[in-house]
Amino acid sequence: MLKFAKYLKSFQKEVFLGPVFKLIEAIFELIVPLVMARMIDVGIANGDRLYVIKMGCVMILLGLVGLGCALICQYFAAKAASGFATGVRHALFEHIQKFTFTEMDTLGTSTLITRMTSDINQVQSGVNLVLRLFLRSPFIVFGAMIMAFTVDTKAALVFVVTIPLLSVVVFGIMLVTMPLYKKVQSNLDSVLLTTRENLTGARVIRAFNKEEDEIQRYEEENQTLTDAQKFVGRISGLMNPLTYMIVNGAIIVLIYIGAMRVNIGDLTQGQVVALLNYMSQILIELVKLANLIISVTKAVACGNRIESILDEKPSMESGKLLWNDGVNVDNPAVPAVEFDHVSLTYKGAAGESLSDITFSAKAGQTIGIIGGTGSGKSSLVNMIPRFYDATKGEIKIFGKNIKEYDTGNLRDHIGMVLQKAVLFKGTIADNLRWGKEDATEEEMDEALMISQAKEFVDNKVGRLEFGIEQGGRNLSGGQKQRLTIARALVRRPEILILDDSASALDFATDAALRMAIHDMKENPTVFIVSQRASSIQYADQIIVLDDGAVAGIGTHEELLAGCPVYQEIYYSQFPKEEVANG
């Protein structure tokens, strides 16, 4: 948690003034019992009504000044806590953006969302309470004890016994509950994961009539979370009754001792009332302190979870080579992309997903990648923009090791269209400008034309200003795919990767798309991953994958003549009779 102190540096004034004003309020509160004692011993005992009114006005003034100080403290504490949370949230989001797919796969989306939202909110609440009460409550507790000694030393010994007992209860419960609250947040991760899966996969769940199963699964995980919260809640709930028992027991002893000492004339009635007021103040503050401890315990547990993410180092280090500094794209002898005995093993996986992949693609060539489900097609192309690093072998882009490149700069020159078409809430123009921030309307229109999206975009109200809902819910699957392709094309990449991104397109549109890409004046190196043999049969080079290994490399004719895996795929889509007749 100490690592988070740097996020409060910009709020040093608020961090200092907040507790100061709270301490001023506490000082005025400690003076009140003494004023009360004077009112009883002097004003009421002597029947001096004017003195009683004067002391009453003093108490009202003390209350108003204390209220003003409390409001100022609240303002500073809220400002510092919200600013602190903003800083932590920005830092966490920025750090997560540096994660490779490996870290994302390992940590999981649900836990990252929980830490960005619920955990940071808990820490923010903890900081707010600490600034308001962390100094005030102990100050009141020990201040009340010291003030009790100024009233009567023997009666004040009750405070000396009471406060250590209370400290044992408060801090003992805090130590027990801290790891339990961490477990509660982990259970919250599981509930969030299930909720997210059910919301994103609602159609699949209904299609397979699994609503009851998912409801049961959710209820089981929610019950686990509930049980964990109840258990830690019961322990935390012991704090208030135990503190009440100890303090009320101390009040009984104090009244007894006070009565005895009043009877022998060592104490006045006003002094006994002042001592009882101080004990009551201790009770109230300890209840506040108990709630503060519970909140701080939660905040510390959540802070440690956030810290664990911030301590997670990205497994991939960016190089320093910039594309324009050392890349010779005009040299035909240098392959655009070269895989040299490359293997890939996902973190935590039992075996290799790709094994000993070797091939080279020249600039301007179209490379088709085909294979059965799970053969490693997406894994292969995901290594080109360096979403994953090869565990063995070497990948070169225009003759330079991919690890030498600045990762961000490398990806600026690669157009990647992933399997799942993801669009963001905003206009069509907003989504296209993800590919190129300063893209002109002409550049966007050209990208739409190449991607075969211009026809349907022209029919939308507002064309490029047509609003897209989150995830592209108001578009069909084919429209979404064409827009994601246009988004990649608008940056005019040197390397274009289409990872099964035309699966929702009909054969005619798919063919027109490939022809338009082939005719681009930039002549990019194109990688087409597809389940359709028709989509890749005219590629300059086809890579056939089978269970993570290369089963064949060559042209369509070469593979059809000598690659059994390719023959099986091709003839399953085009029966031999049709091929012969064609």
Distance CA 71, CA 184 (A): 33
Structure confidence by residue, pLDDT tens digits, 517-573:
888 888 888 999 888 888 888 888 999 998 888 888 988 888 888 888 888 888 888
Q: Where are the alpha helices (DSSP H) in 428-575?
A: 428-432, 441-450, 454-458, 477-489, 507-518, 533-536, 556-562, 564-573
φ/ψ of 264, rounded to 5, equals -95, 0
Residue at token pair 């085909």: 370
Structure confidence by residue, pLDDT tens digits, 298-313:
788 788 888 888 888 8
- pLDDT for the residue 197: 81
Instruction: Say whether pLDDT at 441 is over 80.
Output: yes
- What Cα–Cα distance (Å) separates residue 340 from each residue in 180, 367, 477, 552? 50, 16, 36, 16
- The bridge status of strand 495-499 relative to strand 414-417 is parallel
Distance CA 469, CA 151 (A): 70
In the structure, what pLDDT confidence band is assigned to residue 1 with cuts at 50, 70 and 90? low
Residue at token pair 């002409």: 442
Instruction: Say whether pLDDT at 276 is over 70.
Output: yes
Structure confidence by residue, pLDDT tens digits, 175-186:
788 778 778 877
Structure confidence by residue, pLDDT tens digits, 9-25:
888 888 888 888 888 88
Structure confidence by residue, pLDDT tens digits, 222-237:
898 898 888 888 887 8
Task: Report the pLDDT averaged over residues 389-402.
Answer: 88
What is the secondary structure of 382-397 as a DSSP string?
HTTTTSS--SEEEEEE
Distance spanning both ends of the chain, measured CA to CA: 71
- The bridge status of strand 541-546 relative to strand 400-401 is unpaired
Structure confidence by residue, pLDDT tens digits, 187-214:
887 887 788 788 878 888 888 888 888 8
> How many other CB atoms sit within 10 Å of the CB of residue 195?
14
- pLDDT for the residue 527: 92
**Cα–chain center distance at 124:** 15
Residue type, 442: E
Query: CB under 8 Å to 161, separation ≥6 — which residues?
Result: 250
- pLDDT for the residue 353: 87
Q: By the 8 A CB rule, do 92 and 51 touch?
A: no
- pLDDT for the residue 329: 66
Q: Report the percent of the chain where pLDDT is more than 90.
A: 2
- pLDDT for the residue 326: 61
Distance CA 533, CA 536 (A): 6
Distance CA 76, CA 20 (A): 10
Half-sphere exposure of 455 (CA within 13 A, CB side): 9
499 beta partners: 529
In the structure, what pLDDT confidence band is assigned to residue 328 with cuts at 50, 70 and 90? low
Element containing residue 259 per DSSP (H, E):
helix 239-263
- pLDDT for the residue 578: 53
Task: Report the pLDDT averaged over residues 249-278.
Answer: 79
Half-sphere exposure of 506 (CA within 13 A, CB side): 3
Distance CA 502, CA 292 (A): 56
Please provide the average confidence, as pLDDT, over all residues in the chain.
Answer: 83
Instruction: Say whether pLDDT at 430 is over 60.
Output: yes
Residue type, 501: S
Task: Report the pLDDT averaged over residues 41-53.
Answer: 79
* Burial classification of residue 558, based on how many CB atoms lie within 10 Å of its CB (0-12 exposed, 13-18 middle, 19 or more buried): middle
What are the structure tokens assigned to 264, written together? 């022998």
Q: What is the DSSP letter of 469?
A: P
- pLDDT for the residue 506: 80
What counts of helices (H) and strands (E) characterise the chain?
23, 12
The segment with the largest mean pLDDT, out of 30-44, 188-202, 239-253, 332-346, is: 332-346
What are the structure tokens assigned to 447, written together? 């990208």
Nearest to 187 by CA among 236, 235, 222, 234: 222
Task: Report the pLDDT averaged over residues 476-485.
Answer: 86
Instruction: Say whether pLDDT at 342 is over 80.
Output: yes
- pLDDT for the residue 39: 82
The CA angle 322-312-341, to the nearest 5 degrees, is 55
In the structure, what pLDDT confidence band is assigned to residue 513 with cuts at 50, 70 and 90? confident
Instruction: Say whether pLDDT at 582 is over 70.
Output: no
- pLDDT for the residue 452: 86
Higher-confidence residue of 108 and 581: namely 108
Residue at token pair 């009539």: 209
Q: By the 8 A CB rule, do 513 and 502 touch?
A: yes
Q: By the 8 A CB rule, do 405 and 319 touch?
A: yes
- The bridge status of strand 525-529 relative to strand 495-499 is parallel
Residue at token pair 């390992």: 106
- pLDDT for the residue 229: 87
Distance CA 514, CA 12 (A): 60
Instruction: Say whether pLDDT at 576 is over 80.
Output: no
Task: Report the pLDDT averaged over residues 76-89.
Answer: 90
Q: Report the percent of the chain where pLDDT is more than 70.
A: 98
